[in-house]
Chains A and B, each alone.
Chain A
Amino acid sequence: MGESLLDKLGWRKYIGQETPSYTGETVLARDIRRYALAIDDLNPIYFDENAAKKGKYGGLTAPLGYVSWAIGVPGGEKSVKELGEDGLATFVGVPEFPNTWELGWVRGGEELEFFKPVYVGDQVTVTGNIVDMSEKDGRSGKMIFVTSLFTYKNQKGETLAKHRVTMIATPRKES
């Protein structure tokens, strides 16, 4: 193992740091419908208000995996010129540290714990913190693992889900 990339970047001090809190805009029936169409999950409880009322949640809800998108894309709505060459602005789980975007980021894995679904009309707030950082030598160089834990709540303060995301960063290779 050579020189620590985490030390070089000076990121270790961010372990435990809170991530910015965001509140999304009101979730619309259209948001849920389009999301369900995209993942091709055609359960009527995502499309049909009457079916949803008779269903287990008693109203139109989003597929459970939608919760992390219900806050929108904080910092992501930028003009083409402001976006990076790869099209990314920010991404859930990618920390906002100095030099973050000198590395390439991919998702390693994630864990979602579900308590309640997102309903039409909800406004979802996320809070979180960096819970772990580590590094190792991979096949093609250094790899940094950053794990964050996010909590999503609705406008009533009810916890909807907890979301543990591990992102993997590697130095960018120019091609």
Chain B
Amino acid sequence: MNNQIFYEDVVEGQEIPVLEKQVTTVNILMYLSTVWLMDRIHFDYPFATQRRGLPNVVAPGNMAGDYYVQLLSDWAGERGELRKLSIQFRSFMTPGDILACGGKIISKYIQEGKGYVELELWIKNQNNINCVPGKAIVELPLKGLKKA
């Protein structure tokens, strides 16, 4: 890859490029059937709304983690690596939502000769609600072999 991002390229406070995702009932069905998850809140509208009081069927929360994996793996590039991801489920992602997955660098440090950045993450829906806030640590390659 030509556009590899390096540890030296980033600064604290910098935001990374946003990944836009759209949840659809079809994506939810694909997910449920491939991991064999039969929780009715994810596919049964009357059950989800009338019995559980939800606004709609809701996407499995894990999908948010997958969105962050895509956001950060793509950003880290061939030579970088997502090392740690923590997420908190605050608000449901529902079909029709247009989600902006983004992050901001809150710190960077070198440890044992490797470069790491710590990010604060968000998945904001069209109403600007951060459905699944998170944090991550991403390893980025160093341009030179500087000692820490």
Q: B27–A38 contact, CB under 8 A?
A: yes
Q: Which of A40, A91, A164 has the most CB of B within 10 A?
A: A40
Min CB gap B74→A, angstroms: 7
Name the contact of A106 in the complex, choosing from B53, B84, B89 (C-beta under 8 A): B89
Contacts of A87 in B (CB 8 A): 38-40, 44
Closest to B37 in A: A73
In the complex, A121 has a CB within 8 A of chain B: no
In the complex, A109 has a CB within 8 A of chain B: yes
Contacts of A77 in B (CB 8 A): 36
Name the contact of A114 in the complex, choosing from B34, B35, B39, B81 (C-beta under 8 A): B81
Closest to B67 in A: A39
Of the four ranges (under 10, 10 to 19, 20 to 34, 35 or more), the interface on chain B belongs to 35 or more
Query: Roughly how many angstroms separate A52 CA and B148 CA in the complex, as a whole number?
Result: 33
Min CB gap B92→A, angstroms: 10
Contacts of A114 in B (CB 8 A): 81-85
Contacts of A55 in B (CB 8 A): 78
Contacts of A56 in B (CB 8 A): 78-79
Contacts of A43 in B (CB 8 A): 70, 73-74
Name the contact of B35 in the complex, choosing from A35, A83, A108, A112 (C-beta under 8 A): A35
Q: B78–A64 contact, CB under 8 A?
A: no
Q: A35–B34 contact, CB under 8 A?
A: yes
- Given the interface pairs A72-B36, A76-B36, the reply to whether A40 lies near B21 with Cβ below 8 Å is yes
In the complex, B51 has a CB within 8 A of chain A: yes
Of the four ranges (under 10, 10 to 19, 20 to 34, 35 or more), the interface on chain A belongs to 35 or more
Contacts of A73 in B (CB 8 A): 35-37
Query: Roughly how many angstroms separate A112 CA and B66 CA in the complex, as a whole number?
Result: 11
Contact flags (1/0) for B14-57 with A, using CB distance below 8 Å? Answer: 00000001100001001101111111110010010011010000
Q: A34–B34 contact, CB under 8 A?
A: yes
Contacts of A63 in B (CB 8 A): 66, 69-70, 73
Q: B31–A39 contact, CB under 8 A?
A: yes
Contacts of A86 in B (CB 8 A): 39-41, 47
Q: A107–B66 contact, CB under 8 A?
A: no
- Given the interface pairs A86-B41, A87-B38, A87-B39, the reply to whether A109 lies near B88 with Cβ below 8 Å is yes
**A interface, CB within 8 angstroms of B:** 31, 34-35, 37-41, 43, 55-56, 63-65, 68-69, 72-73, 76-77, 83, 86-89, 91, 106-114, 164, 175
Q: A65-B62, A111-B87 are in contact. List 8 more A-B contacts (CB 8 A).
A: A40-B22, A41-B70, A55-B78, A73-B35, A73-B36, A86-B39, A110-B87, A111-B85
